[in-house]
Structure 1
Amino acid sequence: MNTRQTVFVSIVVLICIFSLAISHPAQSEENSSINTLKHVKHTKTMKVGYIPWAPTVIKDSKGKLSGHFVDTIEYIANEIGVKVSYYETDWATFENDLQAGKCDVVIAGTFKTIKRAYNVAYTRPLFYLGISALVRKDETRFTKVADFNHKDVKISITKGTGEHDFCKTHFPTAKLMVSPGTELFVPISKVISGETDAAFADTFTIEQFLKEKKEGKGLFVSLPLNLTPVAWTLRHSDIEWTNFLNNALEFLETSGKLRSFEEKYNAHWLHRETKWKSH
């Protein structure tokens, strides 16, 4: 093949690649142009990401889902006559799964923080939750938050959680032992086994561990650290879809449905007090 033929073939190849790029844009660009609300209306299906975290989302041994977040999204779906297609994700990857279009909303109990809000949109808060710590019963070194920020202290946390961000910010000198996945008891168990000195998790998880395992002692439980709203996550581009879900959640809150779903699973979260005037 001579030089002229080589140049011609190269030009043809470049044209083909450019054409494919135009006809098949990147997945993230595709998702940013999709009107999710219209898509749900057309397909009669909403793609819902979830992370097992009782009592919001409970997954049994057969894979069946329950929990008050599941009841909430199913109620909304039934009201508008669509079905729910579930997709399991985890704390470290849910943002990427959302942007990739694997789900239209993630019904995980996600801390509504500034850093996360930079990457994803949020619904209105569903409840409020803080962060607590667990140490061994004979541990006496930690009486205040600053005591954990020491080079000899090992702290176990779950990757991608709100407490992961909290520990990176407040304990830059400590050694953070990060566990992947969705099992929030795993980092806590490392304290009991002696692998780490402390574990940080949301206050509810710490309370549940102490109640079920009866090992270790909780710190900052009655007065949790970093009290933060918890909400569902969506894509920033899904403005109409976000507005719809916010309106749905507001109706369910004012009608008492959200509280009834929580009570069904014995969930006692912190809520912003709302006072109604009687007429």
Structure 2
Amino acid sequence: MRRSLPLWSLLNAVLAGVLAVAGMAVPAAAEPPPSRLWSVPLSGVLRVCTTGDYPPFTVRDSGGNYRGVDISLATELATMLHAVPQWVPTTWTTLTQDFLAHCDIAVGGISDTASRRAVADVSVATVTDGKTPVTRRSSGDAYSSIDEIDRPEVRVVVNPGGTNENFARTHFPQAQIMVWPDNLTIYDQLSHGKADVFVTDSIEGLYRQREYPDLQVLHPDKPFDSAAKVYLLPRGDTTFNGVVNAWLQVQISNGRTTALLGDWLS
């Protein structure tokens, strides 16, 4: 272990700095634990699972480049860990499996759910959001409530595998559930009149309605539910997860997360 001590000393300094800024106690220096806090700087790579289809949190452009609120934060987190981000493409259906098999963290508008907590730890909440209807402006307020949506003649479009589909299948058993595989083009189904309503997180709806002026987000300030947006973290890696959470808490406290979200929604 002698060759590793200089790097471990560096990591202890990083840990001490992050925890001190966050106002947390700094643990005594120790030999390297089996933690991502050791392996990530050693490899120089932070492996980040992300779907790339959920703006403003994560979006992959036609050139294969990732952008978004959580992409920016994950890039800055990697820099703090003396690493560079490696984006690992995933889908909402395979998110947890891909995270467990291939990634150090997962980011991109991920809702905190019991099923995800069953296999991974989660970070502090970066933002809190909720499900709300997106419809054509010509529909007025016809689909404002769950009861108004949950009717046999209503066509509800969903993207597969995530909380949007789960919410629709739970709350709209009488409606026509239409699964559309591409979350980036799902709004075309509404705009072209092939679906009546899409229930998604209000932040995503507010961002996407700028691209579709014929669409509207109903009562975004009063969503149907409330859920924290979090990062998936390795189960039981308290050393690494503690540093990530402390760093995130600093970004929240100093307004960095709010500023990034404002830039995307403005």
> Over residues 126-184 of structure 1, what are the superposed CA-to-partner deviations in whole Å (9 max), with x where a residue is unaligned?
0111111123344365342112222332210111232211111111222211122442x
> Over residues 250-272 of structure 1, what are the superposed CA-to-partner deviations in whole Å (9 max), with x where a residue is unaligned?
12223333334444x3447xxxx
- Decide which moves more: 71-80 or 55-64: 55-64
**Larger-gyration structure (1/2):** 1
1:83 maps to 84
Structure 1 residues 173-212: aligned runs within 5 Å: 173-183=174-184, 186-212=185-211
SS in 2 for 1:212: coil
1:96 maps to 97
- One-letter amino acid of the structure 2 residue matched with residue 120 of structure 1: A
Structure 1 residues 256-267: aligned runs within 5 Å: 256-263=255-262, 265-267=263-265
TM-score, normalisation: structure 2? 0.77
Instruction: Describe the shift of the 1:75–1:207 C-alpha distance in structure 2 as closer, same or farther (beyond 3 A).
Output: closer
CA distance in 1, matches of 2:126, 2:220: 20
2:125 maps to 125
SS in 2 for 1:241: helix
2:40 maps to 40
Asked if structure 2 preserves the Cα contact closer than 8 Å seen for 1:188 and 1:200, the reply is no
> Over residues 182-209 of structure 1, what are the superposed CA-to-partner deviations in whole Å (9 max), with x where a residue is unaligned?
42xx333222323222211221232233
CA distance in 1, matches of 2:212, 2:183: 18
SS in 2 for 1:107: strand
Asked if structure 1 preserves the Cα contact closer than 8 Å seen for 2:159 and 2:182, the reply is yes
Structure 1: tracts of 5 or more residues without a match: 1-33, 269-279
CA distance in 1, matches of 2:200, 2:163: 8
Q: How many residues align?
A: 231
2:159 maps to 158
- One-letter amino acid of the structure 2 residue matched with residue 199 of structure 1: F
Asked if structure 2 preserves the Cα contact closer than 8 Å seen for 1:92 and 1:180, the reply is no
Structure 1 residues 9-158: aligned runs within 5 Å: 35-52=35-52, 53-100=54-101, 102-139=102-139, 141-158=142-159
SS in 2 for 1:109: strand
- Decide which moves more: 88-97 or 187-196: 187-196
CA distance in 1, matches of 2:221, 2:41: 45
Structure 2: tracts of 5 or more residues without a match: 1-33
1:224 corresponds to 2:223: yes
> Over residues 85-140 of structure 1, what are the superposed CA-to-partner deviations in whole Å (9 max), with x where a residue is unaligned?
2212122211110111x111111111112333223321000011111112334436
Asked if structure 1 preserves the Cα contact closer than 8 Å seen for 2:129 and 2:229, the reply is yes
Asked if structure 2 preserves the Cα contact closer than 8 Å seen for 1:105 and 1:234, the reply is yes
1:237 maps to 236
SS in 1 for 2:225: strand
SS in 1 for 2:209: helix
CA distance in 1, matches of 2:130, 2:252: 21
TM-score, normalisation: structure 1? 0.73
CA distance in 2, matches of 1:50, 1:131: 20
Instruction: Describe the shift of the 1:210–1:75 C-alpha distance in structure 2 as closer, same or farther (beyond 3 A).
Output: closer
> Over residues 12-38 of structure 1, what are the superposed CA-to-partner deviations in whole Å (9 max), with x where a residue is unaligned?
xxxxxxxxxxxxxxxxxxxxxx63333
Instruction: State the Cα RMSD in Å.
Output: 2.3
SS in 1 for 2:76: helix
Asked if structure 1 preserves the Cα contact closer than 8 Å seen for 2:70 and 2:107, the reply is yes
CA distance in 2, matches of 1:148, 1:173: 9
Asked if structure 1 preserves the Cα contact closer than 8 Å seen for 2:56 and 2:204, the reply is no
